[in-house]
Structure formats: structure tokens, C-alpha cells
Amino acid sequence: MEKVVSEAEELPKAIVRRVVKEKLSECSPDYDFNVHKDAHLAFTESARIFIHYLSATANDICKESKRQTMNAEDVFKALEEIEFSEFVKPLRASLAGRRMLGKRVEQPRKMRSKRRGK
């Protein structure tokens, strides 16, 4: 029996395909992999289920803290709780990098708005 997934829950197939292809090429750069349509579907469904599981666990952690807004720390704690703690360190580094990039982009915007205001 096929489970019907709402459009809001679907992951973009092109992005999943690109991530799989990039990871496979990193593993074996000299080999051109072909991935069957069923395998792409399996990757997509696995990722969707993982996101649901992780978000439900992070939501529980958030509720236990008597908060309504989930934050990155809730996600990190959820990863540890579901025994994916090896992802926490690289995700923290990635998040820090994105925050720094965001600050660099934000600073020129502030400068432009200050110039317009004068």
C-alpha cells in the first residue's frame, strides 16, 4: 500500500538527486554512478522520515523546556538523543559558518540604509 504524502512534506527531488550524486562522486571520483529511480525514491523517503523523527524529538525537547519556539540547541540535543551525536559537531560548525556569512551580508545592507538616511 502506497502512502500518500502531502506536497508540503515532499522533498525536492532535484536536490535529493544532486546530494546523492555529489556524495557518490566524493566517494569514488573516478567512477560515474547511475542511481536507479527506486533508489532515489528510497533516499527521498528516508530523508523525509528522518526529518520527521528529528523534528518530533526536537519538539519534545523544546516542550520539556517549557518553550514554544524550537531552536538549534533543541535540534542538537535531539540528534544526541536519537544517537546521531557524530553529526552535532559538524552541524555546529556549519551553523556558525552560515551565521558569519549572514553577518557579512547584513553589514553592507546596514551601510546602504545608513547612507540613504543621511
For residue 44, being part of any structural domain is answered with yes
DSSP assigned state of 85? G
- Give the number of domains in the chain: 2
For residue 78, being part of any structural domain is answered with no
Q: Looking at residue 30, what is its pLDDT?
A: 80
Residues 65 and 96 placed together within one structural domain of the fold: no
| Crossing angle of the two packed helices 37-64 and 72-81, in degrees rounded to 10 | 110
Domain range for 102 is 84-118
Q: Can you say how many angstroms the Cα of residue 14 is from the centroid of all Cα atoms in its chain? A: 15
CATH code at position 17: 1.10.20.10
pLDDT, tens digit, 9 for 90 and up, residues 26-64 = 888 787 788 899 999 999 999 999 999 999 999 999 999
For residue 1, being part of any structural domain is answered with no
For residue 100, being part of any structural domain is answered with yes
Q: What is the dihedral of CA 38, 43, 49, 52, to 10 degrees?
A: -140
Confidence band for 92, pLDDT divided at 50, 70 and 90: very high
pLDDT, tens digit, 9 for 90 and up, residues 67-90 = 999 999 999 999 999 999 999 999
Please name which of 90, 75, 11 lies closest in space to residue 43, comparing C-alpha atoms: 11
For residue 2, being part of any structural domain is answered with no
